[in-house]
A and B are shown apart, each in its own frame.
Chain A
Amino acid sequence: MNQNDTIAALATAHGAAAIAVLRLSGKDAIPIAESILFSKSGKPKVLSGVASHSAHFAVVQDNGILLDEVVATIFRNPKSFTGEDVVEISCHGSVFIQQQLLQLLLRKGARLAEPGEFTFRAFMNRKMDLSQAEAVADLIASQSAASHQVALAQMRGGFSGKIKILREHLVNFASLIELELDFSEEDVEFANRDDLKNLLFTIQRLVLRLIDSFEVGNVIKNGIPVAIVGKPNAGKSTLLNAMLEEERAIVSEIPGTTRDVIEDEITIDGVLFRFIDTAGLRNTTDVIESIGVTRSYEKIRQSAIVIYLFDVHEITAGELKLAIEEVNTHIQGAQLLLVGNKIDKENLDEIQKEFAAYDVLFISAKEHLYLDDLKHKLVTLFDSRTVNVTETIVTNARHADALRHTAAAVERVINGINNGMPGDLLAQDIREALHYLGLITGEITTDDLLGNIFSKFCIGK
């Protein structure tokens, strides 16, 4: 482990919670924190002069976009957990915010901490006594093994195959370059720069697609967001409770009981769905409830699937049409699922006739009627939505980080070729790209290149 750089990681448990803490440690911890923290009025936060062990309110901005309001606590070396400069950022606890903040820190120059690395640094800086040494070693060994298992599991399903192909392309490319460098005196083929550029563009496209898939991958890892919206008292909370089979949301007969957004997760046929119950959609004069309504629309925008739930007794086909139009104005790329609630079996035919113009799924949340049909429908929608993006999905932040570095290095190679840079300099960036891909697939050594050269080309006097 390199001890000269600055590392970052989530210090609190994974998953949603009230708050979460991100920890930065290393010589650039404070400058990196400063680069993302701003005062409420938008001025950059200056932390370089502040006292150790002091807490500072700030907002996190990424390119002018507000991400969260946070509290940053500064610990100066050597008086910190690791013995280095440490900044702990307490943010709001949604998984989305945690990920956004962590990614931002990585983009600003921090490196994702290895398993046990904070503890390791603490030990190296003599912040722990000798008796703890063995425990730390075991911890690192076991966490590393565990994370390796996780990474391996994530590699199934196309990802490892994709990376392997990428790496082969790049090794071939690197070999060609090394061949013309080390065996220039001999009768060898030379790397055609146009072909190489095409190869690089192919690699770049694949890498960028994988990076893009990180977002989608994250969605899948953290659950497919499903928003349940509808008029007050359409039975949204009841449906959520029925789906979760536990009393999670507050249910009452008074319309507007659900004033905030409640989330929970349920696995259906192995797919993780994250249900978002929302305040009812209506114009309201109640200030608190109106905030809830605004948030409901936000949630619709962030969802992959939107369930529009309505009380079949309270709405006509014409009103449903207007409601669909209203909801559609807030949907961005999500799929809309119409669900009629509160049916009773006796007059189901009549109800179906009323809404025959629409593809409506009829249920009774309270009586747990036809909920399996709804679950099945959700899985079907997930499959159809993601079939075009799931061929390869990157979900591991470390992998995404390595891919970003790969992309940057490939970009430099392309620029180098355009500027007529000689092969030995191009090779430096190619090696860097190979190094980062190697972090995903396991190390590559220069022997790989030589082996590749010897097996493919006739060289040697």
Chain B
Amino acid sequence: MSSGLFKEYDVVVVGAGHAGCEAAAAAANMGSRVLLITMNMQTIAQMSCNPAMGGVAKGQIVREVDALGGYSGIVTDKTAVQFRMLNRSKGPAMWSPRAQSDRWRFAEEWRLMLEQTPNVDFWQDMVSGLIVEGDVVKGVVTGMGLEIRSKAVVLTNGTFLNGLIHIGDKRFGGGRTGEKAATGITEQLIDLGFESGRMKTGTPPRVDGRSLDYSKMEEQPGDDVPEKFSYSDITSPLTKQLPCYITYTNDQVHDILRTGFEKSPMFTGRIVGRGPRYCPSIEDKITRFEERTRHQIFVEPEGWDTVEIYVNGFSTSLPEDVQYNALRLIPGFENVKMFRPGYAIEYDYFPPIQLDATLQTKRIENLYFAGQINGTTGYEEAACQGLMAGINAHLKINGNSPLVLSRSEAYIGVLIDDLVTKGTDEPYRMFTSRAEYRILLRQDNADIRLTPKGYEIGLASKVRLDRVNEKIAASAKITKMFRETSVDPSDINPFLESIGSSPINQKVKFTSILSRPGVGIEHFVEHVPGVAEFLNNYRKEDVEQAEISMKYEGYIQRESELADKMIRLDGYPLDKDLDYSQLTSLSTEAREKLNSIKPSTVGQASRISGISPADISVLMIYLGK
């Protein structure tokens, strides 16, 4: 049934989680007319799992989303209750921003920002099918039987596709606890020739903060001088923060948990989907690492005002009474009151090698997938895919060339390349170790890497671009000064001796001292006359940028050279209609894999496991024709 309710949209986004919200905002801000369809308008941008954004590798992703012109960084800054820069003691590639969020305000802020974004319309309904004509998507069909036509569709269904919740031996359909599952789409996609699979994830119990004794836990406060996610000046760092707390399980807790194993859906085989190895349930941890006598529990507030507490590290699908009895044996939890039990959820996903590097499906044109439907886990991973799907849907329907980020440009590039090249059989989470060029992909330079691209496609504002250019220019001036100015031995030697570094006999350039271990720009400020005054003209981030580029120059240089080699191979496009079985010089394995993945560049082909350098040469020769 066609409906007069709706005009034809440019982009329909199905689902309003982190992926869907970024997709809708990006496409709309670039000029598309967007309809965001969600099953429940009250749960837009819900944090289904822990109330936090960022962390190692994930924080870098949020910075990248922000640099391109996405909203996640701004929403996080506005609704955080705590900010920490993780890994400060390590090298700059590892510095990772993380914020503890107010769960309600996070969702509210997202909804308000979307409401204020021109071109975004909303509709509350369940999408039960796609309108497909030929091999092109033309819109969606809803549970109410409405047909809504559009030029492109972005599916961000999260855990809702045939979602099945497990608590002990109880199970019920649902996309989150208390919310209905979505049906129909998986079945239609399978009919269209898509392959689907099942994945599993879990969440811990939520408890009443008033029932906890924090004196028995370690306090984990926010940073003394908090920073923030967004490069823009729209947000500012927190002025007050809430602490988190750390406590530990013990043998008695583990013993109680074991009593529930016979009803565990994990151990009885009722759960078939594969869960993430790096986010194991507590029952998984005590089984796989039997020798460990304790596991860490992070006690995280859910917001400024609520008493609800998230028990991070205690993800479980054991029966609720077992959860409760085990919790009570954790120090500080003796009188705990549980609000909601932890649960496991199984859901459908579509192995992402069915996508191209723009997140468009190879089978159906103008159909994009983003988030958990692609087998990923995490808000940040979802948000960045939504952003890229929204951007590319808009670019595609306007006949513009796509935006594909390389592995040396962004974690986003690493993530999408991994998904579409290697696929994943467990929920995919980003780690810095997945990136070959970690030292290039830092949280401090995401704006330099990506804002020009965001501006070029019409997403990042001119104000943002100007700000980046200022930062580049300022950092260059500081670097120039450090390269050209010499330090007097009498000024710096007492400091050098104090840190066990050999003193200098004659004047040397600032940079040659700065490159020494244990020396930072702050030491020049302290010991060398004139430096403090000079740097006063610059922002903290400009100074930091200059310091990193000088101090780690050798490492950055070497990684850039490696990246250049790869980029060259990525510069050779491969036709998606190429039939590799015709290239008899390729190994049999290469022919099969290339035909199944259909890489878009020679670089992507080279990253498929089982493709040898000789196969790549053969491809290059083919291209030479």
- Using CB atoms and an 8 Å cutoff, list the residues of chain A in contact with chain B: 1-4, 114-117, 120, 123-124, 126, 130, 133-134, 136-138, 140-141, 144-145, 178, 181-187, 419-425, 427-428, 431, 443, 445-447, 449-450, 454, 458-461
A-B pairs with beta carbons under 8 Å apart, 10 shown? A115-B614, A133-B622, A141-B585, A144-B612, A178-B433, A185-B56, A422-B89, A424-B90, A428-B555, A461-B279
Q: A248 CA to B542 CA in the complex, in Å?
A: 78
> Closest Cβ of chain A: how far from B250's Cβ, in Å?
13
> Closest Cβ of chain B: how far from A5's Cβ, in Å?
9
- The reply to whether B94 and A424 contact each other, CB–CB distance below 8 Å, is yes
- The reply to whether A123 and B56 contact each other, CB–CB distance below 8 Å, is no
Whether A123 contacts B621 in the complex (CB less than 8 A), given A184-B56, A423-B91, A459-B278, comes out as: yes
Q: Which of A1, A187, A449 contacts B296 (CB 8 A)?
A: A187
For B540, the chain A residues whose CB sits under 8 A away are: none
- The reply to whether B618 and A137 contact each other, CB–CB distance below 8 Å, is yes
Chain B residue nearest to A179 (CB atoms) is B433
Interface 0/1 of B584-625, CB less than 8 Å to A: 011100000000000000000000010011101110111011
Whether A450 contacts B433 in the complex (CB less than 8 A), given A2-B565, A4-B568, comes out as: yes
Interface size on B, residues (CB 8 A): 60
Q: Is B313 an interface residue (CB 8 A)?
A: yes
Q: Is B216 an interface residue (CB 8 A)?
A: no
Q: Is B340 an interface residue (CB 8 A)?
A: no
For A423, the chain B residues whose CB sits under 8 A away are: 90-91, 94
Whether A124 contacts B87 in the complex (CB less than 8 A), given A141-B614, A460-B277, comes out as: no
- The reply to whether A427 and B517 contact each other, CB–CB distance below 8 Å, is no
- The reply to whether A461 and B517 contact each other, CB–CB distance below 8 Å, is no
Q: Is B280 an interface residue (CB 8 A)?
A: yes
Chain B residue nearest to A130 (CB atoms) is B625
- The reply to whether A424 and B617 contact each other, CB–CB distance below 8 Å, is no
Q: Which of B436, B439, B616, B625 contacts A446 (CB 8 A)?
A: B436
Q: Is B101 an interface residue (CB 8 A)?
A: no
Q: Which among B155-163, B284-292, B450-458, B520-528 touches the partner chain?
A: B284-292
For B332, the chain A residues whose CB sits under 8 A away are: none
> Closest Cβ of chain A: how far from B584's Cβ, in Å?
8
Q: Is B185 an interface residue (CB 8 A)?
A: no
Q: Is B78 an interface residue (CB 8 A)?
A: no
Interface 0/1 of B67-109, CB less than 8 Å to A: 0000000000000000000110111111000000000000000
Q: A187 CA to B294 CA in the complex, in Å?
A: 10
For A184, the chain B residues whose CB sits under 8 A away are: 56, 86-87, 90, 94
- The reply to whether A424 and B613 contact each other, CB–CB distance below 8 Å, is no
For A178, the chain B residues whose CB sits under 8 A away are: 431-433
- The reply to whether A460 and B280 contact each other, CB–CB distance below 8 Å, is yes
Q: Is B170 an interface residue (CB 8 A)?
A: no
Which interface residue of A2, A134, A182, A422 has the most chain B CB atoms within 10 A? A182
Q: Which 8 A-B pairs rank lowest in CB-CB distance, beginning with the nearest?
A: A422-B91, A137-B585, A144-B614, A454-B277, A458-B289, A187-B296, A424-B91, A178-B433
For B402, the chain A residues whose CB sits under 8 A away are: none
Q: How many A-B residue pairs have CB under 8 A?
A: 144
> Closest Cβ of chain A: how far from B551's Cβ, in Å?
10
- The reply to whether B617 and A116 contact each other, CB–CB distance below 8 Å, is yes
> Closest Cβ of chain B: how far from A109's Cβ, in Å?
13
Chain B residue nearest to A420 (CB atoms) is B517
Q: Is B434 an interface residue (CB 8 A)?
A: yes
- The reply to whether A460 and B90 contact each other, CB–CB distance below 8 Å, is no
For A133, the chain B residues whose CB sits under 8 A away are: 621-622, 624-625
> Closest Cβ of chain B: how far from A199's Cβ, in Å?
19
> Closest Cβ of chain B: how far from A323's Cβ, in Å?
56
For B319, the chain A residues whose CB sits under 8 A away are: none
- The reply to whether B517 and A124 contact each other, CB–CB distance below 8 Å, is no
Q: Is B559 an interface residue (CB 8 A)?
A: yes
Chain A residue nearest to B56 (CB atoms) is A182
- Using CB atoms and an 8 Å cutoff, list the residues of chain B in contact with chain A: 50, 55-57, 86-87, 89-94, 276-280, 285, 288-289, 292, 295-296, 298, 312-313, 315, 422, 431-434, 436, 438-439, 517-518, 552, 555, 558-559, 564-565, 568, 583, 585-587, 609, 612-614, 616-618, 620-622, 624-625
> Closest Cβ of chain B: how far from A401's Cβ, in Å?
15
> Closest Cβ of chain B: how far from A456's Cβ, in Å?
10
- The reply to whether A182 and B617 contact each other, CB–CB distance below 8 Å, is no
For A124, the chain B residues whose CB sits under 8 A away are: 620-621, 624
> Closest Cβ of chain A: how far from B35's Cβ, in Å?
36
For A422, the chain B residues whose CB sits under 8 A away are: 89-91, 94
- The reply to whether B295 and A187 contact each other, CB–CB distance below 8 Å, is yes
For A428, the chain B residues whose CB sits under 8 A away are: 438-439, 555, 558-559
- The reply to whether A182 and B612 contact each other, CB–CB distance below 8 Å, is no
Which interface residue of B565, B617, B618 has the most chain A CB atoms within 10 A? B617
For B609, the chain A residues whose CB sits under 8 A away are: 443, 445
Chain B residue nearest to A449 (CB atoms) is B433
Q: A57 CA to B295 CA in the complex, in Å?
A: 73
Q: A138 CA to B614 CA in the complex, in Å?
A: 10
Q: A137 CA to B91 CA in the complex, in Å?
A: 44
> Closest Cβ of chain B: how far from A169's Cβ, in Å?
18
> Closest Cβ of chain B: how far from A378's Cβ, in Å?
41
Whether A1 contacts B433 in the complex (CB less than 8 A), given A181-B94, A420-B517, A424-B94, comes out as: no
- The reply to whether A458 and B56 contact each other, CB–CB distance below 8 Å, is no
- The reply to whether B90 and A141 contact each other, CB–CB distance below 8 Å, is no
Q: A152 CA to B132 CA in the complex, in Å?
A: 52
- The reply to whether B613 and A181 contact each other, CB–CB distance below 8 Å, is no
Whether A421 contacts B433 in the complex (CB less than 8 A), given A4-B568, A460-B277, comes out as: no
- The reply to whether A120 and B91 contact each other, CB–CB distance below 8 Å, is no
- The reply to whether A182 and B57 contact each other, CB–CB distance below 8 Å, is yes
Q: A447 CA to B608 CA in the complex, in Å?
A: 12
Q: Which of B91, B285, B312, B431 contacts A450 (CB 8 A)?
A: B431
For A182, the chain B residues whose CB sits under 8 A away are: 56-57, 431-433
For A421, the chain B residues whose CB sits under 8 A away are: 91, 517
For B55, the chain A residues whose CB sits under 8 A away are: 185
For A126, the chain B residues whose CB sits under 8 A away are: 624
Q: A130 CA to B616 CA in the complex, in Å?
A: 18
Q: A2 CA to B94 CA in the complex, in Å?
A: 30
- The reply to whether B50 and A134 contact each other, CB–CB distance below 8 Å, is no
- The reply to whether B585 and A138 contact each other, CB–CB distance below 8 Å, is yes
Q: Which of A1, A187, A454 contacts B617 (CB 8 A)?
A: A1
- The reply to whether B621 and A424 contact each other, CB–CB distance below 8 Å, is no
> Closest Cβ of chain A: how far from B572's Cβ, in Å?
11
- Given contacts A117-B617, A460-B278, list 7 more A-B pairs with CB under 8 A: A114-B617, A123-B624, A138-B585, A141-B586, A141-B614, A144-B613, A447-B422
Q: A419 CA to B551 CA in the complex, in Å?
A: 13
For A425, the chain B residues whose CB sits under 8 A away are: 91, 93, 439, 552, 555
For B90, the chain A residues whose CB sits under 8 A away are: 181, 184, 422-424
For A460, the chain B residues whose CB sits under 8 A away are: 276-280, 285
Q: A138 CA to B621 CA in the complex, in Å?
A: 11
Chain A residue nearest to B281 (CB atoms) is A460
Which interface residue of B277, B315, B622 has the most chain A CB atoms within 10 A? B277
> Closest Cβ of chain B: how far from A196's Cβ, in Å?
15
Q: A53 CA to B89 CA in the complex, in Å?
A: 58
Q: A185 CA to B296 CA in the complex, in Å?
A: 10
For A431, the chain B residues whose CB sits under 8 A away are: 436
- The reply to whether A2 and B432 contact each other, CB–CB distance below 8 Å, is no
For A116, the chain B residues whose CB sits under 8 A away are: 617
Chain A residue nearest to B586 (CB atoms) is A141
> Closest Cβ of chain A: how far from B594's Cβ, in Å?
14
Q: A181 CA to B570 CA in the complex, in Å?
A: 29
Q: A421 CA to B586 CA in the complex, in Å?
A: 43
Chain A residue nearest to B312 (CB atoms) is A461
For A141, the chain B residues whose CB sits under 8 A away are: 585-587, 614, 618
> Closest Cβ of chain A: how far from B610's Cβ, in Å?
9
Q: Which of A3, A130, A454 contacts B278 (CB 8 A)?
A: A454
Q: A357 CA to B313 CA in the complex, in Å?
A: 83
- The reply to whether B89 and A450 contact each other, CB–CB distance below 8 Å, is no
- The reply to whether B94 and A446 contact each other, CB–CB distance below 8 Å, is no
For A4, the chain B residues whose CB sits under 8 A away are: 564-565, 568
Q: A141 CA to B621 CA in the complex, in Å?
A: 12
